[in-house]
Amino acid sequence: MGKTTYRDALRQALSDSMTTDPNVVLIGEEVGRYGGAYGVTKSLIDEFGPERVIDTPISEPSIVGAAVGAAMSGLRPVAELMYVDFIGMTMDQLANQAAKIRYMFGGQIGVPMILRTQGGTGRSAGAQHSQSLEAYVMHTPGLRLAMPATVSDAYHLLRQSLAQPDPVVFIEHKALYATSGELDDQTPVAPWGKAHVPRQGDDLVIVTYSRQLHYAILAADKLAKDGIEATIIDLRTLNPLDIDTIRTHVERCGHAMVVSEGVMTAGVAAELAARISEECFDFLENPVIRIAGEDIPISVSPLLETNSVPTPELIADAARMMRS
Amino acid sequence: METQTNSRLAELYPMMRRIRTFEERVGELFVRGQSAGSMLHLSIGEEAAAVGVGAAMRDGDTFTTHHRGHGVFLARGADPRLMMAEIAGKETGYCSGKGGSMHIADMKLGHLGANAIVGGGIPSVVGAGLAARHKRSDSVSVAFFGDGATGQGVLYESMNMAALWRLPVLFVCINNQYGMGTRIDNATADPDLYKRAIPFGLKGAAVDGSDVEAVAEIAGEMIGDARAGKPGFLVVDCYRFYGHARMDKSPYRDDAEESEGRLRDPVIKARETLISRGEIDGSSLDEMDQNIAAEMDATIDFAADAREPQLDSIFDDVYDPSTPPPESVRGRLARILGQSQ
């Protein structure tokens, strides 16, 4: 397919899925005429009409709740939550309804819906529009969680999510929409639930996802100049979590760092570090190091914002300290 | 004596009696220690809401209920034995013992789920309505909830969406006057709840919940309207005869109020009306009630004798069965520490 952007790859995935499956509908604030707050759904209303691209009032709980009911009634809804920061508004419908319906009802029915949203820093959007709240989702059994880092996964991970029988929270990163790359729309880098290893070295493993993948690659390039060769694992999905790939590489390298933009305490990085420590204890030569968001809100000031979350420099410095 | 048994009321009465008796037996199941817990919310006094609206619905219509939803489910055709087994937490129950009284559901009967979050099931009917429109089906989806849910924002969001999109949806507020221990006049500035329909352009109505014929009539009209894309908001006014849940002795209300409230008994009223109209005589009604009592007595034994869930099923149905279940703590310990536990 050639070169495209993360934003356009997402739109292509939605368009292709809607073409293939007439039961796929989009529902959310500004998804129609406006084309999505970040332009992901631009022009889809022209292609598929207002009955399949449904603009809603600003009513996040009922947007997600309507998606739950629609998914139980034979549709495959893709609800959009404009910012992941608003997930607290929807948490009842997400955590008490979507996540639990299959289990509470004894397996009678699943809720095959997607909640598309975006998070992260990078636009001076402030404390209520810049968070990385994937831990809220990962902490809720019954919800799948996908976080694409690349153009290829913007397309393929969304297509894969749309094939899941269970609810998927799909969190994009706002700083990635304009990034570009090659998209082969026939070939994903990995199947659903499997991590991708874009770089392989023997000295340490960096386990990451979403935008921090790119920071880890920048850090690894610098580290290579110092003679430190890093393996990088892009998890792609946090639920399912591909612990097998993590274990394989950590056992080989003996040093592991996890990198996440979410705040450190009780976060995704904490969970990953605990898993690695348990699974690979006999192979580890250092404690598993967490590089995560500071335990603070995000500022509007670009200087403060940038330093609230991991940077390539911080990742590289941490790796050097581990290997010194 | 000849009896005429084909009036609407004569058709509706037996289901109200079945609900009343079933819920009395739920109370007995609890007293016998055979219910799974005490989170049992009885709708005694509210039978006309369930039966009147339920009778106005068709096969293929869907609905969600609140935590006080036994009556609605029975009115829509539930098997009381499978309900009682579920309330007892048994594998034989509607939800394999995982849902219980507050999370009972049956997709075959269109029951998209009882809900233990006040208002939690309401937006599902918006989605069901969207799906019906999308599939060009003529089914209606009905949200049943209590007056307590009128305090929840999600209700008004969903009312707005249903009206905005002209969905085949009916909102049914069973106003039993109490959200747990708080009477409606302590919880809302205007207890005339039907007026909540007005700002959204929904058809709003309130009906006497002791009169099942009146409920069935207005529900029939409003469900017909909903089927034609004119959603509505129906308030059924009744009185919750007993406490919030089984452990609640209602210390927040006085005996005089309870006695007066229990005079608004839809089952007794229907019975007296049937007799006074000469439709069914008292002894025939007694016989009918006794048959229902026997049917409901049997549900207790059915539930008591029903299979317990297998412990292995604890990890089933978190996710679709085509995907691996979550790993157990013991499984992980064995794998990491290399010891079988």
A209 and A154, same structural domain? no
Range in A123-132, A263-272, B65-74, B331-340 the model is least confident about: B331-340
Give me B277's structure tokens. 């109209």
Is A62 in Cβ contact with B320 (below 8 Å)? no
Among B107, B321, B336, whose Cβ lies nearest the Cβ of A278? B336
Is A97 in Cβ contact with B115 (below 8 Å)? yes
- Residue to mutate among A73, A166, A246, with most B CBs inside 10 A, is A73
Looking at the domain assignment, is residue A110 inside a domain? yes
Q: Is B123 on the interface with A (CB under 8 A)?
A: yes
At A213 the pLDDT is 98
Closest CA to A279 of A312, A235, A246: A246
Number of Cβ atoms within 10 Å of the Cβ of B320: 13
Instruction: Using an 8 Å CB-CB cutoff, list chain B residues near A241.
Output: none
Tell me: pLDDT of B10 over 90. yes
> Is residue B338 very low, low, confident or very high in pLDDT (cuts 50, 70, 90)?
confident
A163 and A30, same structural domain? yes
Is A104 in Cβ contact with B99 (below 8 Å)? yes
Tell me the pLDDT of chain A averaged across its residues. 98
Q: Mean pLDDT over residues A90-114, rounded?
A: 98
Q: CA of A292, closest CA in chain B: separation in Å?
A: 26
Is A105 in Cβ contact with B113 (below 8 Å)? yes
Q: CA of A183, closest CA in chain B: separation in Å?
A: 28
Across the A/B interface, how many CB contacts are shorter than 8 Å? 159
Give ∠ CA A95-B127-B167 in degrees, rounded to 5: 150
Closest CA to A40 of A118, A112, A114, A94: A118
Q: Is B92 on the interface with A (CB under 8 A)?
A: no
Q: CA of A243, closest CA in chain B: separation in Å?
A: 12
Instruction: Using an 8 Å CB-CB cutoff, list chain B residues near A93.
Output: 120, 123, 154
How far, in Å, are A111, B270, B294, B299, B303 from residue B289 at the CA level? Answer: 41, 13, 9, 15, 21
Looking at the domain assignment, is residue A24 inside a domain? yes
At B246 the pLDDT is 85
Residues 35-64 of B with CB under 8 A from A: 62, 64
Half-sphere exposure of B318 (CA within 13 A, CB side): 17
A240 and A169, same structural domain? no
Do residues B116 and B102 touch, judged by C-beta distance below 8 A?
yes
Closest CA to A265 of A256, A276, A274: A274
pLDDT in tens, B46-58: 999 999 999 999 9
Is B265 strand, coil or helix? Answer: coil
In one letter, which amino acid is B175?
N
Give me B299's structure tokens. 């549900």
- The residue with greater pLDDT, B30 or A1, is B30
H or E element that contains A24: strand A24-28
Tell me: pLDDT of B181 over 90. yes
pLDDT in tens, A65-77: 999 999 999 999 9
Tell me: pLDDT of B341 over 50. no
Indicate the length of chain A as a whole number.
324
Looking at the domain assignment, is residue A273 inside a domain? yes
A302-322: burial string, b at 16+ Cβ within 10 Å, e else: eeebeebbbbbeebbebbeeb
By C-alpha distance, the chain B residue nearest A105 is B95
Tell me: pLDDT of B242 over 70. yes
What is the domain-level CATH number for residue A104? 3.40.50.970
At B247 the pLDDT is 87
In one letter, which amino acid is B120?
G
Instruction: Using an 8 Å CB-CB cutoff, list chain B residues near A105.
Output: 94-95, 98-99, 103, 105, 107, 113
Instruction: Using an 8 Å CB-CB cutoff, list chain B residues near A66.
Output: 123-124, 126-127, 130, 158, 161
At B6 the pLDDT is 67
Instruction: Using an 8 Å CB-CB cutoff, list chain B residues near A277.
Output: none
pLDDT cut 70: percent of chain B above it: 97
Do residues B139 and B203 touch, judged by C-beta distance below 8 A?
no
H or E element that contains B178: strand B178-179
A119 and A213, same structural domain? no
Q: Which residues pair with B172 in a beta bridge?
A: B144, B234
Instruction: Using an 8 Å CB-CB cutoff, list chain A residues near B160.
Output: 57, 59
Structural domains of chain B in order of their starting residue, each with its CATH number: 8-309 (3.40.50.970)
At B339 the pLDDT is 55
Among A61, A97, A108, whose Cβ lies nearest the Cβ of B107? A108
Measured in degrees and rounded to the nearest 5, phi and psi for residue A118 equal -140, 155
Q: Is B125 on the interface with A (CB under 8 A)?
A: yes
A12 and A134, same structural domain? yes
Which residue is it, tokens 């598993």? A288
Among B112, B130, B161, whose Cβ lies nearest the Cβ of A57? B161
Instruction: Using an 8 Å CB-CB cutoff, list chain A residues near B106.
Output: 108
Domain boundary among A141, A162, A183: A183
User: DSSP labels for B61-86?
Assistant: -EEEE-TT-HHHHHHTT--HHHHHHH
A173 and A209, same structural domain? no
Q: Which residues pair with B143 in a beta bridge?
A: B64, B171
- Residue to mutate among B138, B142, B319, with most A CBs inside 10 A, is B319
Looking at the domain assignment, is residue A222 inside a domain? yes
What is the domain-level CATH number for residue A313? 3.40.50.920
How far, in Å, are A63, A206, A219, B266 from residue B302 at the CA level? Answer: 41, 57, 66, 28
Is B105 in Cβ contact with A105 (below 8 Å)? yes
At A94 the pLDDT is 98
Give ∠ CA B27-B115-B79 in degrees, rounded to 5: 55
Among B106, B157, B318, whose Cβ lies nearest the Cβ of A103? B318
How far, in Å, are B156, B198, B205, B254, B310 from residue B202 at the CA level? Answer: 11, 6, 10, 36, 47
Domain boundary among A133, A152, A183: A183
Tell me: pLDDT of B230 over 80. yes
By C-alpha distance, the chain B residue nearest A89 is B154
pLDDT in tens, B159-177: 999 999 999 999 999 999 9
Domain boundary among A153, A183, A213: A183
Among B62, B103, B154, whose Cβ lies nearest the Cβ of A62? B154
Q: CA of A136, closest CA in chain B: separation in Å?
A: 17
A77 and A21, same structural domain? yes
A151 and A16, same structural domain? yes
Number of Cβ atoms within 10 Å of the Cβ of A178: 12
- Residue to mutate among A97, A105, A271, A283, with most B CBs inside 10 A, is A105
Instruction: Using an 8 Å CB-CB cutoff, list chain B residues near A52.
Output: 134
pLDDT in tens, A185-200: 999 999 999 999 999 9
Half-sphere exposure of B80 (CA within 13 A, CB side): 24
A133 and A215, same structural domain? no
Looking at the domain assignment, is residue A188 inside a domain? no
Instruction: Using an 8 Å CB-CB cutoff, list chain B residues near A67.
Output: 127
Looking at the domain assignment, is residue A239 inside a domain? yes
Is B310 strand, coil or helix? Answer: coil
H or E element that contains A198: strand A196-199
Tell me: pLDDT of A236 over 80. yes
A175 and A290, same structural domain? no
By C-alpha distance, the chain B residue nearest A51 is B134
How far, in Å, are A172, A205, A208, A272, B35 from residue A230 at the CA level? Answer: 25, 6, 12, 18, 58
Distance between CA atoms of residues B132 and A72, nearest Å? 11
Q: CA of A202, closest CA in chain B: separation in Å?
A: 24
Eight-state DSSP code of residue B106: B
Give me A219's structure tokens. 């850090």
Give me B214's structure tokens. 């009146």
Tell me: pLDDT of B121 over 70. yes
Tell me: pLDDT of B4 over 60. no
A139 and A21, same structural domain? yes
Q: Which residues of A are catalytic?
A: 60, 129
Closest CA to A12 of A44, A48, A49, A46: A44
Task: Residue A179: give the domain boundaries.
Answer: 2-183
Distance between CA atoms of residues B117 and A236, nearest Å? 33
Looking at the structure of chain A, the number of domains it has is 2
How far, in Å, are B25, B28, B292, B303 from residue B297 at the CA level? Answer: 7, 10, 8, 10
Instruction: Indicate the Cα dihedral angle B173, B177, B181, B184, nearest 10°.
Output: 90
Please give the radius of gyration of chain A, using alpha carbons only, rounded to the nearest integer. 19
A202 and A177, same structural domain? no
H or E element that contains B207: strand B203-208
pLDDT cut 90: percent of chain A above it: 99
Looking at the domain assignment, is residue A190 inside a domain? no
> Is residue A59 very low, low, confident or very high in pLDDT (cuts 50, 70, 90)?
very high
Looking at the domain assignment, is residue A127 inside a domain? yes
Do residues A120 and A134 touch, judged by C-beta distance below 8 A?
no
By C-alpha distance, the chain B residue nearest A97 is B120
pLDDT in tens, A128-179: 999 999 999 999 999 999 999 999 999 999 999 999 999 999 999 999 999 9
Is B115 in Cβ contact with A61 (below 8 Å)? no
pLDDT in tens, B192-217: 999 999 999 999 999 999 999 999 99
Is B95 in Cβ contact with A105 (below 8 Å)? yes
Instruction: Using an 8 Å CB-CB cutoff, list chain A residues near B113.
Output: 101, 104-105
